[in-house]
Structures are given as structure tokens and as C-alpha cells.
Amino acid sequence: KTLHRELTKSFPIWRMRIMLKEPLTCNSWHRDPEQLLHIPIITNPSSLFVINHHVTHLPADGSVYYTDTPRAYHMAMNGGEQPRVHIVAILPL
């Protein structure tokens, strides 16, 4: 509730969810219907985010990452041995 209240001071948040990526898993190459904010909570160096063929690691350092997922194909993978946890906030188009 506190995080939602703080984020809505800067962004028009529709809803938020907690996303878990188990160790040694990935999701499909896809686009989403909404723009997203990612806030890594628990991660590891082998947890990677791929967007428009650019591979990056999103550290759990308190940063908020905007992703234009309606236009950008993307996927997440967790090659580590610990779960990856992100909070994802959905923004209006």
C-alpha cells in the first residue's frame, strides 16, 4: 500500500502485482498490452531481462524501470539458483 501511494505521486498507476520467476526458468518472447514499471525486489546476477534484443540485469537497488512493452518485444529469464521477485506496476497507454 505504501509503495503504491508513493508511486502514484509520480506515475498514473492502474494496478500492481508481485511477479515471481523461479530459478532456471524463462518466459516467452512477447509484448504486453500496457506499459510497465519494474521494481526488482530480489534478484541475482544470472537473472536477465531482454527487451528489443538488448540483454540487461535489473538490480534490486531501489530503482524503478520503465518498459514500453506494447511496442517492445521482451522476456525475462532467471538463470540463477534463487527466485527472482519483481513488483510490476501497470500504466495506462
Q: For the segment 3-52, what is each residue's pLDDT rounded down to a tens digit?
A: 888 888 988 998 999 999 999 999 999 999 999 999 999 999 999 999 99
CA distance 40 to 78: 13
SS3 (DSSP) at 41: strand
- What does the pLDDT read at residue 70? 92
Residue with cell 531482454: 50
In this prediction the pTM is 0.86
- Strand order, beta sheet including 35-42: 15-21, 84-91, 35-42, 65-67
- What does the pLDDT read at residue 1? 84
- What does the pLDDT read at residue 3? 86
Check residues 92 and 51 and name the one with the higher pLDDT: 51
Phi first, then psi: what are they for 71, rounded to 5°?
A: -105, -20
48: which DSSP letter? E
- What does the pLDDT read at residue 80? 97
pLDDT band at 59 (very low <50, low <70, confident <90, very high): very high
